[in-house]
Copies of this chain bind each other. A is one copy, B any other.
Amino acid sequence: MGIIVQKFGGTSVADATKIKNVAKRVVQTHDEGHRVAVVVSAMGDTTDRLENLAYEISANPPERELAMLMSTGEQVSIALLAMAVSELGHRAISLTGTQVGIMTGGFYSEARIQSINRGRILSELEQGKIVILAGYQGVTIDNEITTLGRGASDTTAVAVAATLDADRCDIYTDVDGVYTADPRIVPNARKLGQITHDEMLEMARLGAKVLHSRSVELAKKFDVNLCVRSSFTESEGTIVVKEGEMIEEVVVSGVTSDKDQAKVSLLGVPDTPGIAARIFQEIADTHINIDMIIQNISHEGTTDISFTVAKKDLGATLKIAEILKAKIGCQNISTDKNIAKVSAIGIGMKSHVGIAARMFRALADEGINIQMISTSEIKISCVIDDREAEHAVRAIHDRFELGNTSNENVGIQG
């Protein structure tokens, strides 16, 4: 009997009624003859509420205590879902990250899963129970509670599916799949039936909030059958497939925007070998994620290096930049929070030329100025003024003819 992992996000378990609906769906899958392991997030806005409570007490709460606090959100959900499944006459057992042994390294936040104790889950499944696991949380070898980062319940689900060698990992969310663009911005955005791991990864990284990017990495690495579908409808979702399994290969699969970045520029950096390595090592040491990095050709022995970071990390980044300024003798630091990154993603780019030019032309035709460009094999990102973000997404989406001709979409993609 095969195992199916189902993951339900915060909006899917936001209140008692929704939890009961999730229980019905879980039980239905169980009754169809599968063994079912469920991963759940915290209810609705619980995570925000807990975080606000922490910041009422301290502007800089210790990460250990934040993890202790935040992990309670999922513990509430798993207990309630287990009750709801029991109420339907099925046996259920909830397990915290500590109980199931979702082992992580020593960081309290953004911790990485190292291993999962499949024995406990399998033994409960073999007893005919529906196993309900807390997403987002792990535990260290010293029994310390850790958290995996915002949105990381997806990652828990995929890691559990990989560990159990599950037939499928279904991510239930408040949208019914992955769209060519956010339908709130682009009304005729189209739901994709399939998307490759790499495309999904870029979409996730580049602002589509539908899947946590580490979950897609894991799914690719461990060959997990991943599917994004709606908790609220029966509609078929989007299947994340291997590159070779893609039936219809399109040039561009989707367009995303991300306003959560800020730009930092180090101006007049001495252009000596190893300077970039020094700068970014120093930043990496503080666990700040750098996104785009741009270094242009140098003039008169100095160069400008720009990069983007998450807005929340801007303060910490500036502190390091000031230290670096003194150490390496750069002339100035400038920052800009009012930026957006718009991106076109598609596996088909590999075999098609001129995609970048077509995207830049779409922006130019609308009079939108490009501040930074970054490309990979399957995506092109441009940093622009954040006030132009929606405008730019629509222009690129139109230019690549991604939309439906009709306008019948529902759903949201961040």
Contact = CB atoms under 8 A, between A and B. Distances in A.
Interface of A: 16, 19-20, 50, 53-54, 56-58, 61-62, 64-66, 68-69, 71-72, 75-76, 78-80, 82-84, 86-87, 92-94, 96, 98-99, 143-145
Contact of A143 (B69, B80, B99): B99
A211 B79 CA distance: 29
Nearest to A54: B83
A65 B82 CA distance: 7
Give the most central of A61, A83, A94, A144: most B CB within 10 Å. A83
A115 to B, nearest CB: 17
Given A94-B68, A99-B143, A80 B62 contact: no
Contacts of A144: 99
A71 B99 CA distance: 14
Give the most central of A56, A79, A80: most B CB within 10 Å. A79
B76 A50 contact: yes
Nearest to A56: B16
Nearest to A95: B68
12 contacts: A53-B80, A54-B83, A58-B84, A61-B83, A65-B79, A65-B82, A65-B92, A66-B79, A68-B82, A68-B94, A72-B76, A72-B79
A80 B94 CA distance: 25
Contacts of A143: 98-99
B68 A79 contact: yes
A331 to B, nearest CB: 38
A141 to B, nearest CB: 13
A166 B57 CA distance: 29
Nearest to A15: B56
Given A16-B56, A16-B57, A98-B98, A69 B65 contact: no
Main secondary structure, interface of A, reads helix
A366 to B, nearest CB: 47
7 tightest A-B CB contacts, nearest first: A69-B79, A16-B56, A68-B79, A72-B72, A58-B87, A61-B83, A65-B82
A321 to B, nearest CB: 27
A58 B79 contact: no
A87 B69 CA distance: 16
Contacts of A56: 16
A69 B58 contact: no
B57 A20 contact: yes
A87 B75 CA distance: 26
Given A54-B79, A65-B79, 19 more contacts: A16-B53, A54-B83, A57-B80, A57-B83, A57-B84, A58-B84, A58-B86, A58-B87, A61-B86, A65-B94, A66-B79, A68-B78, A68-B79, A68-B82, A69-B75, A69-B80, A72-B72, A72-B75, A99-B143
Nearest to A72: B72
Contacts of A61: 83, 86-87
Given A68-B75, A76-B72, A143-B99, A82 B62 contact: yes
Nearest to A62: B86
Nearest to A144: B99
B83 A62 contact: yes
Contacts of A92: 65
Nearest to A17: B56
A79 B58 CA distance: 11
A98 B20 CA distance: 29
Contacts of A96: 68, 145
Contacts of A69: 75-76, 79-80, 83
